[in-house]
C-alpha cells in the first residue's frame, strides 16, 4: 500500500473501526462486512490519488454487486457493472499520468462550461431513468435514479482525473444512504456515512 500521512491513516482506521463495530453488534452477513471494509479503504486511497485504491475497489464492487442483486436494486446493479468496466479502463488511464516521485496521479479541474454540461446531463438523465425504473419492481425508483445517474458522471470524471468527481460522489452517497436506511443494512449505512465524509476529504485533497 502506498505511503500515507498520519491523518490519512487515522481517517482510514476510523472507517475500518465503524465497520468492525457494525459487524460485532449486528446480524448482517460477512459479505456486507467485506464490502463495507474494502469500501472504506478504497475511497481513502482514491482521495489520496493512490494507485493501490484499485485493488480494494474491485473487492468492494464485486461484493456490492451480489448484495444489490439480492435486494433487486436494478439501477444500482447496472451502475456497478458499469463501474467494473470503467474502473479497469481508468486503471490504465491513471498509469499514464502517475507521478512516480510522490506516488500520486495528477488531478485536473473542470471548466465552467463543462460543469454546466454535467448539470444538464444530470437532470435530464435522472428524469429519464426514473420513468424507466417505474416500470420495474425496483422498490425505490426515485432514489435509485438520483444515486445512479450522478454516479455515471462521477465515474467518467474519475477516469479523466477531475476533482469535481467528489461533488458528484457526494450527491450519489447521500441518495444511496437514504436508500440503504430504508432497507436497513447497517453495514451499507455506515459505509455511506463514511463515504459522505470522504467526499469532502477527497475534494480538499484533490484541490491541492
Residue 166 — very low, low, confident or very high, per pLDDT cuts 50/70/90? very high
**DSSP code, position 139:** S
Least confident interval from 112-121, 135-144, 161-170, 197-206: 135-144
pLDDT at residue 123, rounded to an integer: 92
Least confident interval from 62-66, 142-146, 149-153, 196-200: 142-146
**Of 204 and 29, the one with more pLDDT:** 204
Distance (Å, whole) CA 168 – CA 119: 10
9 close to 177: Cβ distance less than 8 angstroms: no
pLDDT at residue 20, rounded to an integer: 86
22 close to 187: Cβ distance less than 8 angstroms: yes
pLDDT one-digit tens code per residue, 65-115: 998 888 777 767 887 888 899 889 988 888 888 777 767 888 899 999 999
pLDDT at residue 102, rounded to an integer: 67
pLDDT one-digit tens code per residue, 36-61: 889 889 988 888 888 888 999 999 99
Question: What is the pLDDT of the chain when averaged over all its residues?
Answer: 85
- In this predicted structure, the answer to whether residue 2 has a pLDDT above a threshold of 50 is no
Per-residue pLDDT, averaged over 180-189, amounts to 81
Closest CA to 64 of 52, 53, 73, 55: 73
- In this predicted structure, the answer to whether residue 1 has a pLDDT above a threshold of 50 is no
pLDDT one-digit tens code per residue, 5-20: 778 888 888 888 988 8
The fraction of the chain above a pLDDT of 90, given in percent, is: 26
- In this predicted structure, the answer to whether residue 148 has a pLDDT above a threshold of 60 is yes
104 close to 50: Cβ distance less than 8 angstroms: yes
Task: Give the dihedral of Cα atoms 6, 9, 96, 157; nearest 10 deg.
Answer: -110
Amino acid at each position: 500500500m502506498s505511503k500515507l500521512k498520519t491523518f490519512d491513516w487515522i481517517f482510514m482506521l476510523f472507517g475500518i473501526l465503524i465497520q468492525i463495530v457494525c459487524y460485532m453488534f449486528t446480524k448482517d452477513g460477512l459479505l456486507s462486512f467485506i464490502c463495507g471494509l474494502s469500501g472504506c479503504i478504497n475511497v481513502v486511497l482514491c482521495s489520496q490519488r493512490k494507485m493501490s485504491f484499485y485493488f480494494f475497489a474491485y473487492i468492494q464492487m464485486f461484493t456490492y454487486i451480489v448484495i444489490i442483486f439480492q435486494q433487486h436494486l436494478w439501477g444500482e446493479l447496472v451502475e456497478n457493472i458499469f463501474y467494473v468496466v470503467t474502473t479497469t479502463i481508468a486503471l490504465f488511464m491513471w498509469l499514464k499520468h502517475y507521478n512516480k516521485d510522490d506516488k500520486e496521479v495528477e488531478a485536473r479541474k473542470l471548466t465552467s462550461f463543462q460543469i454546466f454540461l454535467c448539470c444538464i446531463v444530470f437532470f435530464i438523465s435522472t428524469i429519464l431513468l426514473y420513468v424507466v425504473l417505474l416500470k420495474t419492481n425496483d422498490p425505490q425508483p426515485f432514489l435509485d435514479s438520483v444515486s445512479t445517474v450522478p454516479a455515471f458522471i462521477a465515474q467518467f470524471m474519475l477516469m479523466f482525473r477531475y476533482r469535481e468527481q467528489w461533488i458528484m460522489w457526494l450527491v450519489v452517497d447521500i441518495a444511496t444512504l437514504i436508500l440503504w436506511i430504508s432497507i436497513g443494512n447497517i453495514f451499507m449505512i455506515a459505509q455511506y456515512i463514511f463515504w459522505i465524509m470522504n467526499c469532502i476529504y477527497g475534494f480538499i485533497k484533490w484541490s491541492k
